[in-house]
Structure 1
Amino acid sequence: MSNIVLSVENLSKQYRIGEIGTGTLSNDIKRWWAQIRGKEDPFSLVGQINDRTQKAESEFVWALKDVNFQVKKGDVLGIVGKNGAGKSTLLKLISRITSPSTGRVRAKGRIASLLEVGTGMHPEMTARENIYLNGAIMGMTKQEISRKFDEIVDFAGCALYVDTPVKRYSSGMRVRLGFAVAAFLEPEILIVDEVLAVGDAEFQKKAIGKMKDVSSGEGRTVLFVSHNMESIEALCTSCAVFKNGTILRQGGTKEMIELYLNDNRESTTQRLESRTDRKGNGRYRITEVDVCTNGQVTSYLKVGQLGKIILSISQKAMIKIPISISIGIHDSKGVRVSTLSSMFFPETLTVDRSFKVEFILENVALYSGEYFCNVFLREGENGDIVDWVQDAFILRIEAGDFYGTGRNNILQNDKFFINHKINLV
């Protein structure tokens, strides 16, 4: 008997840009008529690849195109790729939240999915009611759910609020509850999409431990999507790298992580102004990043010395708004090691023109090596995202004399809050 529990065969998903369905009733009928006659979808012959760096040349786009893979019982498959690579679309198709345009998914047993904060949770119902509802949807009896109830509540840490409507929960509490429900109700296939990033470090450690138990101890299958390569490496038995809606490669976890990071390095060298894989309303746009030391633009900063990171920001709409600007610094495995942000300071940045922002690092406190940096621009502290570019630039750090001993030092702490100032230019 085959131990393949999940098989994805020629799976594709096409969307009409800005539309639902094919856009017209007549086209929907043409698709339906072809389907019942066993003919090829007439709209599968049009459309372009899901490359967000290219200008649209068609009104259709393939979010996924001809994806094939199999997962065995007890395996943990890591799925990595940049934003828009098709990862979440794939998981929605496997979870049957949406249907494929072509191809099919074959799965043996129950599937439990945790695709975003609050997935499967009715906000007006209590945690107790949601646990029983989700179990019933998965085909479990009330007695089966009751046997797992205390474990779920204990893992989620919500015993005090088990009879409180979920809409009163913080995003972290909803993630803990959603994960506990998905993991403890004994699905044959558990799907987890990035949501662990919302939880604190203690919960992430517990969740990864539970997924290991589910796969190795209980022989269940896990599909795990994350931008944190440390978690992928710690948990997954194999890995698939997605790019532009297709699988770039699939294989051993360490090898695939290296492939993904190298691909990121290549895209990060692209001029920031021309990057189209960004989010936000576009009222302002971060167009250039300069790393400077001793008043000169350089390719690296040195441990223990003064340095600057200068963001050039252009105005795209004639409007005066308060903004906050942040740089997230991540190591090669996607772990956040520090953040530089205007939100750490009491002064509000309010501008009505193109401008530059200097982040002044008075004493660079990072291990030597390469760091991938995200740049983030928001209206105020909690308003709309204005501009967000993942892996906008690489920050290179060289060894230096942090402690003033006259020789290069190895820093002793694991993570740092880097002391910095911010100037509006």
Structure 2
Amino acid sequence: MWFKPFTRQHALLADILHELDEAGLSLHALHPNDPPVGPGLVFVDPLTPLAEVEETLQLGATYAETRVIAVSVGLLPSASTWALLRAGVAEVFAWFEVEKPVQIVAARLHYWQVVEQHVADLQQRLVGKSQRWLDTLRQLVDMALSSCQVLIMGESGTGKELVAQEIHRLDPRPDKRDCVVVDCTNLIPGLSGSELFGHEKGAFTNAISTRDGALALAHEGTLFLDELGELPLPLQAELLRALQEGTYKRVGSNTWRRAHFRLVSATNRDLAQEVSRGTFRQDLFYRVSGWTCQLPPLRERKEDIVPLAEHFFRHQHGIRQPVDRQVYDFLLLRDYPGNVRELQQLVNRIASKHQGEGPITLGDIPRSDWPATLGLVPAALGGELEAGVTHLLYQGLGLKEIKDQVTEIAKKVAIHHENGNLKLAAHRLGCSERILQMHRREVVNE
């Protein structure tokens, strides 16, 4: 692993490096022009200018595999510790204030290796290489390897059920049983208690036999409650009791039964807001959100659109032919309010229309998915754009100055729309990425 010192306590630093070397940890100093790739150590003390450390961490943030431990030579104030954590370090500790500091570093490295192995496996099914998605996958592994309840939050189509299934698959319980899925949007009023808790024969009309509910089926396994925010309030109280006590009653029964399971929930609602509105119990919210994971929408991980499309073409449709670059440009410039599910459905339509052994081209895109023709027609010029140009004219600006201002605004808007991704913004503007790099550099230097 690499290391970079930000402390002048050279004698103490030499002692620390010697201990790490004696433990068999291979270290190399990070030179000024070297990118901080992979696991690393930064050495700080209470007098270290944190801005210098943050600059190194920002460089490392561009590399998905960079993970950093901050080792303090002396006690840091809490404000500095929080600043380092917010800047991106994974761990902060004072070397001479803890027992077995070498083991702390070694254990963290070993755990990171385990996590990265799981992440590499997850990428076969939860496809994506963007920094945002890799951070999400690492969090998923952390959650799965723990024993806590998990609440998965995210917009429709972001893959919440797939993530829940992977959490169950990675769950280290040696004898875990099945993952039982309950879609809370499909619970029928009056019978929903039966879906969760089961019922006795004759408990209600058409209850012709005794039936186990989801809690019984999930015993010693995982219960996944999809769209938990749709759960009716009366059932929320019963579910809370079952989670707290580990017991429940079938509908129509007076016998308490035990069920031990791991609960994973998902919702596209903001449950904190639902609590404030009185539509979701606060005590249940705290119970189910032992660990919360927010899945990013596709617009925040647009770098993953091409890998996802390739995955759908190859693994779901068996299409091995090349895909024309213009098709990927088309996919990249679309908006996806339905997120990954919408992209998948679009790829399905393209794959269904594609015939023969040739490449996939723009001609394979169904007409209903064609982008609208956008042109500056006279009606459009009579609106906000014309008003803006008129204002600039009244300020005394000439044609070149007006053109320059509109161009700069277009660059700014495109970069903002693509969440800072210059490659995608350049695609949208039809210009080179270098032009936007120069624009960003000019903005920073202003």
TM-score normalised to the size of structure 2?
A: 0.29
Structure showing greater radius of gyration is 2
| Larger strand fraction of residues | 1
TM-score normalised to the size of structure 1?
A: 0.30
| Larger helix fraction of residues | 2
* Structure of higher RCO (CA pairs closer than 8 Å, 6+ residues apart): 1
